[in-house]
């Protein structure tokens, strides 16, 4: 009886082991694509591990294609032109590609698995995007819900960006979260300080990132960021500047103002800062200092609901109305707007009514 | 015995866990997503409404309140609506394409004194999936509350058998 | 000549008169779920033919050379399933390599081939009927072809006719699919007059 049982057990184990061996061999051969060459923009060559999605393969080589959904195919941001080496678009990609993109061989890099050598094309600015390991240098509360976070880059490291661009802040798994999460924040420090990055973060109730930053992050902690990203930045011209931003939207504007100050720019600049009450104002002293330092800069805060009895003497009302009152001529002006889609739409409408052409209105849309 | 879950439900439930897409998650104390959808579906039917009608009213109030640019604005007949947004977009936990702006709509019904808050994503979740968030989350949209505060009336019966 | 004729009969019987799906009602879940589209059904059908044509003789060999001599008949079910599972894994890797599109279209139904009862069913039938190795191979291939034929026919009907028609709400989806499957089964019963239907 015992022998029969042992024989049975032995055969069972042998079968399972044999099948496992077969699968392992096949995995190492059929499913193994080995190292694969990718040629980017005709001249940059990288070698990646085959079999993985293009998005993550490139990320391992420090090439960051923008993605909001982390490679699930639900944001459509990771588009890349694949000139050679990929098959037909998958059903998951088709909803994101219009007819022109299909003709141009645009694909979603999170859905394409790298199996054969590829020739791809990506916007050249993305090649400048890098990952940086930083430490928290300082945490400072600017208002009851806006925290200023200053990150120091690793010794010897440097970041090059244009005033107005943003970085992606990596929130590591903490408390209730299991995976890292990325959130975009504009850099509020000047691009000439290459070894640090200053951010303004507004506390959003139940926000994964802002809860982490306001409740868990401490000075000295390590933070991973990548960037710089964004087409919103200071334009090299001598036109007058009309800036509109409230709350944490001040960050890119502050970077732009500091840059102008360093350049000793003679440009006429007006910055309309929209807020609800006096409690939402911050960095007013810094703005006043810039007013003294720059030849023609005015900081114009406007409160939409000033507390009665607070003695507020400045502008009141919503920004588009304040703009109407203050801006007379837009003939030689360009606009920099940072805020919610609602604010931007209303401001753009007000500026267009004054005759400002759309191609001189730059905005950093929260969306 | 739990019904066999489709892969889509399973991944939706995984996405709804706290910390995955939003800090509190979407399910709260619920364990059975399919049952929650059924119960809310029944609740909406009992009110004489459809998910599409509820979502349409949510959208209507959002559009009216958007003019306030982040401040409370009066909306006829007796509402105060505030629409503000933060940077970034959220995907739908059910996994299909699309990113939704993080727009918060707070509707205050001045006649009853009650208020309720929802987002752009919620409008989509109600319209496309009949999903009102789980009980126990800070954003739970109880269909009865929604209907009462937003004053969603049943449409006249149009269907003929 | 008699031998070849006999083998041919087994093949033809497996495809038509003793169709593993329409006569023996095995392998219904992926049949109902995937038969919405002809292209995917063709892919899945081919995969099933492949799996059955290989695992039937393979399982026959393991049964004849390992299990029966050692009196381990009771291990048959488990060992057959292990073999089928391993083989489907390998098939998955092959499909992923060869056609990303097919791999994505089949989705979860590719690993679900493992628990497709038609495959285990065919393996067990061949043991009961005491087929030889050659007969097992033809029986496996034939059953696979029969299953593929059924799913292709169903896909053709659904894609061209059912999806274009307006149906009562209660019958949509699996309802009409089962009605059509029943009618197809009745039609295939007409084949049972052909020699040796079992």
**C-alpha A212: how far from its chain's center?**
18
pLDDT at B159: 46
Distance from CA of B33 to the nearest CA of A (A): 20
pLDDT score for B143? 92
Mean pLDDT of A20-35: 88
Q: CA of A74: which chain B residue's CA is closest? A: B97
> Could A68 and B66 be called an inter-chain contact, meaning their C-beta atoms sit closer than 8 Å?
no
Chain A contact present for B101, CB below 8 A: yes
CA–CA gap between residue A20 and residue A22 (Å, rounded): 5
DSSP string, C29-69: HHHHHHTT-HHHHHHHHHHHHHHHHHHHHHHHHHIIIIITT
- Output the domain CATH number for residue A260: 3.40.50.80
Could you tell me if residue A81 is inside a domain? yes
C86 vs A contacts (CB less than 8 Å): 19-20, 22-23
Q: Which helix (H) or strand (E) holds A224?
A: strand A222-229
- Would C187 be classed as within a structural domain? yes
Of A4, A16, A31, Cβ closest to residue C82: A16
Summary mean pLDDT of chain A = 89
Q: Are C59 and C98 part of one and the same domain? A: yes
**CATH number for the domain that contains residue A204:** 2.40.30.10
- A204 part of a folded domain: yes
Q: Is pLDDT larger for residue B143 or for residue C160?
A: B143
What would the pLDDT profile of B56-67 be if each residue is shown by its tens digit?
999 999 999 888
Q: Are residues A108 and A136 in the same domain?
A: no
How far is Cα A38 from Cα A122, in angstroms, rounded to an integer? 12
Same domain, C96 and C171: no
Q: What pLDDT band is residue B106 in, cutting at 50, 70 and 90?
A: very high
Res C52: pLDDT? 93
Cβ distance A72 to B91 less than 8 Å, yes or no, reads yes
Give C96's contacts in chain A (Cβ within 8 Å): 31
Q: Do both A189 and A294 map to the same domain?
A: no
Half-sphere exposure of B147 (CA within 13 A, CB side): 18
The answer to whether A208 contacts chain B (CB < 8 Å) is yes
CB contacts, 8 Å: A340 with chain B: 69-70, 84-86, 103
pLDDT tens digits for A43-53?
Answer: 899 999 888 89
Report CB contact under 8 Å: A27, C93.
Answer: yes
Predicted local distance difference test score (pLDDT) of residue A116: 87
Q: How far apart are CA A21 and CA C14, in angstroms?
A: 33
With a cut of 90, say whether residue B90 has pLDDT above it. no
Give the closest of A4, A92, A115 to C104, CB-based: A92
Whether A181 and A202 have beta carbons less than 8 Å apart is answered as: no
In tens, the pLDDT along A185-233 reads 999 999 999 999 999 998 887 788 888 998 899 999 999 998 898 888 8
Say what the pLDDT of residue C109 is: 79
Q: Is the pLDDT confidence value at B5 over 80? A: no
What is the pairing mode between strands A361-365 and A333-339? parallel
Assigned domain for B4 exists: no
Residues C182 and C91 grouped into a single domain:
no
- pLDDT-derived band at A366, boundaries 50, 70, 90: low
A139 and A107 in one domain?
Answer: no
The pLDDT value recorded for residue B1 is 32
Residue B156 counted as domain residue: no
Element (H, E) at C144: helix C133-160
Q: Which domain, by its residues, includes C180? A: 161-191
Question: Does residue A26 fall inside a structural domain?
Answer: no
Does residue B140 belong to any structural domain of this protein?
A: yes
Where a domain ends, among A229, A248, A270? A229
Residue C94 shares a structural domain with residue C120: yes
C136 located within any domain: yes
- C15 is a domain residue: no
ipTM over 0.90: no
SS3 for C60-108 is HHHHHHHHCCCCCHHHHHHHHHHHHHHHHHHHHHHHHHHCHHHHHHHHH
Q: Which of A68, A103, A126 is the last residue of a domain?
A: A126
pLDDT bracket for residue B3 (50, 70, 90): very low
Q: Is the CB of A12 less than 8 angstroms away from the CB of C96?
A: no
Chain A residues bordering chain C (beta-carbon distance below 8 Å): 4, 7-8, 11-12, 15-16, 19-20, 22-23, 26-27, 30-31, 33, 87-88, 90-92, 113, 115
Cβ–Cβ < 8 Å for C16, C22: no
Residues C117 and C166 in one domain: no
Contact B83 A342 (CB under 8 A): yes
Round the CA-based radius of gyration of chain C to a whole number and report it: 17
Task: Judge whether B157 lies within some domain.
Answer: no
Instruction: Give yes or no: residues A137 and A50 share one domain.
Output: no
Chain A residue with the nearest C-alpha to that of C94? A30
Give the model confidence (pLDDT) of A57-108 as tens digits: 998 888 888 877 777 777 788 899 999 888 888 877 888 888 898 899 999 9
* CB contacts, 8 Å: A10 with chain C: none
Q: Could you report the per-residue pLDDT of C51-69, keeping only the tens digit for each?
A: 999 999 999 999 999 888 8
How many Cα atoms within 13 Å fall on the side-chain side of residue A27?
9
- Edge to edge, the sheet with strand A222-229 lists A181-186, A166-171, A222-229, A130-141, A146-153, A196-202
**Its pTM surpasses 0.80:** no
Segment B47-63 shows an average pLDDT of 92
Does B31 map to a domain?
yes
Q: A342–B23: do the CB atoms touch at under 8 Å?
A: no
- For A259, residues 6+ apart whose C-beta sits below 8 A from its C-beta are A163, A190, A191, A192, A234
**Final residue belonging to a domain, choices A205, A229, A253:** A229
Does a structural domain hold residue A15? no
Residue C132 sits in the same domain as residue C181: no
Residue A84 DSSP class? E
Residue A159 has pLDDT above 90, yes or no: yes
Tell whether A269 and A356 lie within a shared domain: yes
A81 and A153, same domain (yes or no):
no
CATH code for the domain of A82: 3.10.20.30
CA-based nearest residue in chain B for residue A72:
B95
Quote the tokens at residue A160: 């090059």
Q: Are residues A102 and A168 in the same domain?
A: no
Residues of A with Cβ-Cβ distance to B138 under 8 angstroms = 205-206
Q: In a mutagenesis test of the A interface, which of B15, B16, B23 is the best target, namely the one with the most A β-carbons within 10 Å?
A: B23
What was the pLDDT predicted at A92?
79
The pair of structure tokens assigned to C101 is 């599109």
Please state, in angstroms and as integers, the Cα–Cα distance from residue A121 to each residue in A64, A255, B23, following that order: 13, 31, 37
In a domain, residue A16? The reply is no
Return left, alpha or beta for A176; rule: phi > 0 is left, psi -120 to 50 is alpha, else beta.
alpha
| A208·B86 Cβ contact <8 A | no
Torsion of CA A214, A216, A218, A220, to 10 degrees: -130
Q: Are the beta carbons of B156 and B49 closer than 8 angstroms?
A: no
Whether pLDDT at A252 is above 90: yes
Are A56 and A99 part of one and the same domain? yes
Q: How confident is the model at residue A300 (pLDDT cuts 50, 70, 90)?
A: very high
CA–CA separation, C186 vs C184, rounded Å? 5
Range of the domain at A360: 240-365
Domain count, chain C: 2
Residue C100 has its nearest CB partner, among A4, A16, A90, at: A90
Q: For residues C136 and C171, state if they share a domain.
A: no
Q: Are C42 and C168 in contact (CB under 8 A)?
A: no
pLDDT at residue B125, as a whole number: 93
Task: Tell me the average pLDDT across B96-104.
Answer: 82
Question: Of the given ranges (B3-7, B113-117, C169-173), which has the lowest mean pLDDT?
Answer: B3-7
Q: How many domains, in total, are found in chain B?
A: 1
pLDDT band at B160; cut points 50, 70, 90 = very low
Judging contacts by C-beta atoms under 8 Å, the chain C residues touching residue A27 are 93
Q: Tell me whether residue A276 is exposed, middle or buried, using C-beta atoms within 10 angstroms of its C-beta: 0 to 12, 13 to 18, 19 or more.
A: middle
Q: What is residue C48's predicted lDDT score, i.e. its pLDDT?
A: 92
Q: Is the Cβ pair A4, C100 closer than 8 Å?
A: no
| Owning domain of residue B14 | 9-150
pLDDT at B132: 93
Number of domains composing chain A: 3
Confidence of residue A120 (pLDDT cuts 50, 70, 90): very high
**Range with lowest mean pLDDT among A105-114, A285-294, C24-33:** C24-33
H or E stretch covering B51: helix B51-65
- Whether C128 is covered by a domain: the verdict is yes
Residues C87 and C129 occupy one common structural domain: yes
* Residue in chain A nearest C96 by alpha carbon: A31
Both C117 and C180 in one domain: the answer is no
Same-domain status, A349 and A247: yes
**Domain shared by C144 and C166, yes or no:** no
Q: Confirm whether C7 is domain-assigned.
A: no
Together in a domain, C149 and C172: no
- Subunits with 3+ C-beta pairs closer than 8 A to C: A
């Amino acid at each position: 009886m015992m022998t029969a049982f042992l024989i049975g057990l032995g055969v069972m184990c042998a079968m399972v082991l044999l099948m496992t061996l077969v699968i392992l061999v096949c995995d190492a051969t059929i499913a193994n694509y080995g190292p694969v060459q990718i040629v980017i923009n005709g001249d940059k060559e990288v070698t990646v591990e085959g079999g993985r999605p293009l998005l993550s393969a490139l990320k391992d080589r420090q090439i960051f294609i923008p993605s909001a959904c982390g490679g699930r195919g639900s944001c459509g941001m990771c588009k890349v032109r694949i000139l050679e080496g990929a098959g037909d678009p998958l059903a998951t990609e088709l909803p994101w590609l219009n007819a022109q993109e299909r003709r141009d061989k645009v694909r979603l890099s999170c859905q394409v698995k790298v199996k054969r050598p590829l020739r791809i094309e990506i916007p050249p600015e993305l090649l400048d995007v890098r990952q940086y390991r930083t430490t928290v240098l300082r945490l400072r509360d600017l208002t009851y819900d806006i925290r200023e976070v200053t990150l120091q880059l690793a010794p010897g490291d440097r970041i090059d960006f244009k005033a107005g661009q943003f970085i992606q802040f990596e929130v590591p798994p903490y408390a209730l979260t299991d995976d890292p999460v990325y959130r975009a924040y504009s850099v509020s420090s000047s691009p000439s300080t290459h070894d640090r990055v200053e951010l303004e973060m507004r506390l959003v109730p139940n926000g994964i990132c802002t809860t982490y930053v306001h409740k868990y992050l401490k000075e000295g902690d390590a933070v991973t960021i990548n960037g710089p990203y964004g087409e919103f930045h200071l334009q090299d011209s001598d036109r007058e500047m009309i800036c509109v931003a409230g709350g944490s939207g001040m960050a890119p504007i502050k970077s732009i103002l500091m840059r102008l100050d360093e350049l000793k720019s003679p440009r006429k600049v007006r910055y309309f800062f929209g807020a609800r009450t006096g409690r939402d104002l911050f960095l007013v002293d810094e703005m006043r200092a810039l007013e003294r330092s720059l030849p023609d800069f005015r900081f114009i805060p406007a409160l939409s609901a000033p507390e009665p009895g607070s003695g507020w003497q400045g502008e009141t009302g919503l920004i588009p109305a304040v703009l109407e009152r203050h801006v007379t001529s837009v003939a030689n002006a360009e606009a920099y707007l940072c805020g919610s889609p609602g604010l931007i739409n209303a401001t753009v409408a007000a500026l267009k009514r004054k005759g400002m052409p759309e191609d001189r209105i730059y905005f950093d849309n929260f969306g | 015995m739990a019904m066999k879950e489709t892969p889509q439900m399973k991944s939706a439930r995984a996405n709804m866990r706290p910390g995955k897409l939003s800090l509190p998650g979407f399910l709260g104390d619920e364990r059975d997503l399919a049952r929650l959808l059924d119960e809310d579906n029944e609740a909406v039917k009992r009110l004489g409404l459809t998910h599409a009608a509820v979502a349409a009213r949510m959208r209507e109030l959002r559009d009216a309140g958007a003019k306030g640019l982040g401040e409370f604005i009066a909306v006829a007949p007796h509402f105060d609506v505030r629409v503000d947004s933060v940077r970034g977009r959220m995907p739908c936990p059910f996994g299909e394409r699309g990113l939704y702006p993080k727009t918060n709509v707070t509707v205050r019904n001045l006649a009853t004194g009650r208020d309720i808050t929802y987002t752009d994503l919620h409008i989509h979740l109600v319209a496309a999936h009949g999903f009102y968030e789980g009980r126990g989350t800070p954003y739970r949209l109880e269909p009865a509350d929604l209907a009462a505060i937003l004053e969603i009336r049943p449409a006249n019966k149009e269907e003929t058998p | 000549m008699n031998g070849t004729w006999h083998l041919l009969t087994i093949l033809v019987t497996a495809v038509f008169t003793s169709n593993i799906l329409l006569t023996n009602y095995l392998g219904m879940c992926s049949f109902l779920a995937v038969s919405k589209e002809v292209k995917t059904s063709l892919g899945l059908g081919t995969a099933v033919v492949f799996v059955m044509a290989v695992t039937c003789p393979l399982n026959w060999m393991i049964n004849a050379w390992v299990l029966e001599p050692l009196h381990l008949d009771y291990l048959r079910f488990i060992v057959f399933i292990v073999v089928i599972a391993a083989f489907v894994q390998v098939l998955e890797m092959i499909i992923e390599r060869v056609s990303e599109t097919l791999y994505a279209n089949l989705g979860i139904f590719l690993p679900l081939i493992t628990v497709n009862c038609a495959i285990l069913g065919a393996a067990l039938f061949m043991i009961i009927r005491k087929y030889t190795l050659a007969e097992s191979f033809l029986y496996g291939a034939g059953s696979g072809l029969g299953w593929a034929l059924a799913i292709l026919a169903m896909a053709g009907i659904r894609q061209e006719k059912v999806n274009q028609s307006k149906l009562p709400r209660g019958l949509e989806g699996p309802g009409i699919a089962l009605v059509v499957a029943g009618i197809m089964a009745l039609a295939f019963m007409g084949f049972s007059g052909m020699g040796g239907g079992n």
